[in-house]
Structure formats: structure tokens, C-alpha cells
């Protein structure tokens, strides 16, 4: 099989949490373009259904499911719904996340817990649920969205909870990868830098921060959601069979100094 064939995902079934918009939608689109059927998992069902309809135009089957990734029962029901329709899960892109910027001495415990619950516990629940299916299949790829914030302390915004959650995702990924290494189930993470999603670019509160981020960046700009697509498709397909336990930093060299 040639490299181009190995990059194809024809017949595979993928789910993407936080898939209704932003990075999740971009990755879901890329997986579909490579041939995978795609399940859009998000709290916003209306937007998920809209995204699913758009992606279906690429000639694959799609499904939209409303799921709270912090609720174990909800996650398990999501998995059952996918299996009922497709009978398998080949790729899990665990991407749902939030950020609350607050100084560490002022952040409430409820705020801290909410970020950890979505960003870390949610990734654990969705990747664990996917792994249980994949282990029975003897094959599968789990891709977790971490962040360059799991490697550095971002400035000028105070975001200790976010940074801690993403560092946790990286180590969770590595730990699961080692445990599953001989099973055919691979676990990797992608650590994006600052990505200019519509929500970010359209936020008036973030405009002064974006200017500072760009000034600090060696490449001088934010990334685009589509610039994360290639690494996701690589990790989802057979071309990455020997790749597990890795964290791929895609940040325009931001963390290099």
C-alpha cells in the first residue's frame, strides 16, 4: 500500500467532540474529505446538525449527537448511538474544551473545577469510552486536543486552570498510549498554538490579546483551523501505525523560545 492510500480513511468511522464549530469542525471536515464517516458531538445540537449536513455533502455519512462530555452516562449513550448506526469506531477526536481566564488568587474553585472537568475529565471519559470499543476491535486511533499551553505559561492572560488541564491531557495521552501499545489502539495528542477560529477573531475582548500574541510569535500570526487538518488525518490513518504516545505541537514555533 502506497503512502497516499495509507492516508485515506475510506470506510472508517470517526467522532469529533466539540465538532460543531472551530477546530473541531475543521478536523471533522478533513476526516470526511479523507473518506471517513463522521459523527459530530457537541452540546449545541442545532449547530452540530448544521455542520453534519454540510459535511455530508462530501459524500460520507454523518450524524449529530448532543453530548455532555463531563457526564459519564451521556458519553456512554453517545458511544452506543454511534455503534447502533455504524457498528464500530475507528477514530476518536477528543477535542471539546473551554477556557476561563482569571488570576489564580481570584479564580473560584467552581471556575477551576469547570475547566478541569471539561478539558481533562471530558477527554478521559470520551477517550476511555472509545478505547473500550477499540480494544475489542483490536484497532483504533484516539487523538486528544491538548495545547501549547500544556508546555508553557501563556502571557499576558492568566489561565492557570487551562494550562493545568492541557498538561494533564498530554500526560493522560502518553499513559494510555503505553497501556494500549500492544493492542493496536494508538493514542496521540495535538497541541495547537493560538488558532484564529471565528469565535476568537470576532471577540472584541480578545483583539488586544491577539495583537500581543502575534507580536510574540516568531511566525507573526495566529494559525488557521485548517492548518491542523493534515496532522489529524495522518494520526487517524494507517500511515501512523507506529506513532503512539506522541504530542504534536503545531504553534508556528511559539514554544521554541
- 3-class SS shares of the chain: helix, strand, coil, % to 5: 50, 15, 35
- As given in the structure block, the three cell numbers for residue 48 are 452540530
Question: What are the distances in angstroms from CA 144 to CA 101, 105, 157, 218?
Answer: 22, 29, 24, 26
Question: According to the model, what pLDDT value does residue 210 have?
Answer: 94
Question: According to the model, what pLDDT value does residue 4 have?
Answer: 87
The residue ranges of the chain whose pLDDT is under 50 are none
Question: According to the model, what pLDDT value does residue 197 have?
Answer: 93
- As given in the structure block, the three cell numbers for residue 157 are 492572560
Question: According to the model, what pLDDT value does residue 204 have?
Answer: 87
Mark out the alpha helices in 138-236 (DSSP H runs): 160-180, 198-201, 207-216, 229-236
Question: According to the model, what pLDDT value does residue 241 have?
Answer: 96
Structural domains in the chain, sorted by start: 3-197+226-246 (3.40.50.720)
Phi and psi for 91 in degrees, rounded to 5?
-135, 130
- The burial class, CB within 10 Å (0-12 / 13-18 / 19+), for 186 is buried
Count of CB atoms within 10 A of residue 25's CB? 25
Question: According to the model, what pLDDT value does residue 199 have?
Answer: 83
Sign of CA dihedral 197, 203, 207, 213: negative
- Going by C-beta distance under 8 Å and a sequence separation of 6 or more, which residues neighbour residue 21? 42, 44, 47, 51, 197, 198, 199
* Confidence (pTM): 0.97
Q: In this structure, are residues 214 and 185 in contact, taking their beta carbons and an 8 Å threshold?
A: no
Question: According to the model, what pLDDT value does residue 202 have?
Answer: 86
List residues bridging with 64 in a β-sheet: 40
Q: Which residues are catalytic?
A: 147, 162, 166
Question: According to the model, what pLDDT value does residue 203 have?
Answer: 86
Amino acid at each position: 500500500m502506497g503512502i497516499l492510500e495509507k492516508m485515506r480513511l475510506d470506510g472508517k468511522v470517526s467522532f469529533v467532540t466539540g465538532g460543531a464549530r472551530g477546530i473541531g469542525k475543521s478536523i471533522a471536515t478533513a476526516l470526511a474529505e479523507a473518506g471517513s464517516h463522521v459523527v459530530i458531538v457537541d452540546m449545541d445540537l442545532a449547530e452540530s446538525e448544521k455542520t453534519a449536513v454540510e459535511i455530508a455533502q462530501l459524500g460520507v455519512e454523518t450524524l449529530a449527537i448532543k453530548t455532555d462530555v463531563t457526564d459519564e452516562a451521556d458519553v456512554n449513550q453517545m458511544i452506543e448511538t454511534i455503534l447502533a448506526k455504524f457498528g464500530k469506531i475507528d477514530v476518536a477526536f477528543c477535542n471539546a474544551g473551554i477556557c476561563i481566564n482569571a488570576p489564580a488568587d481570584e479564580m473560584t474553585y467552581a471556575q477551576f473545577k469547570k475547566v478541569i472537568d471539561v478539558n481533562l475529565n471530558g477527554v478521559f471519559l470520551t477517550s476511555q469510552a472509545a478505547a473500550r470499543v477499540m480494544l475489542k476491535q483490536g484497532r483504533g486511533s484516539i487523538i486528544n486536543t491538548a495545547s501549547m499551553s500544556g508546555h508553557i505559561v501563556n502571557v499576558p492572560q492568566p489561565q492557570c486552570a487551562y494550562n493545568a488541564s492541557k498538561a494533564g491531557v498530554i500526560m493522560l495521552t502518553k499513559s494510555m498510549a503505553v497501556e494500549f501499545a500492544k493492542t493496536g489502539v494508538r493514542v496521540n495528542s495535538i497541541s495547537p498554538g493560538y488558532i484564529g477560529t471565528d469565535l476568537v477573531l470576532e471577540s472584541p475582548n480578545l483583539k488586544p490579546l491577539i495583537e500581543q500574541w502575534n507580536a510574540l510569535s516568531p511566525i507573526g500570526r495566529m494559525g488557521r483551523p485548517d492548518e491542523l487538518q493534515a496532522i489529524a488525518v495522518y494520526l487517524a490513518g494507517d500511515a501512523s501505525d507506529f506513532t503512539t504516545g506522541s504530542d504534536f505541537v503545531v504553534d508556528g514555533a511559539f514554544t521554541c523560545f
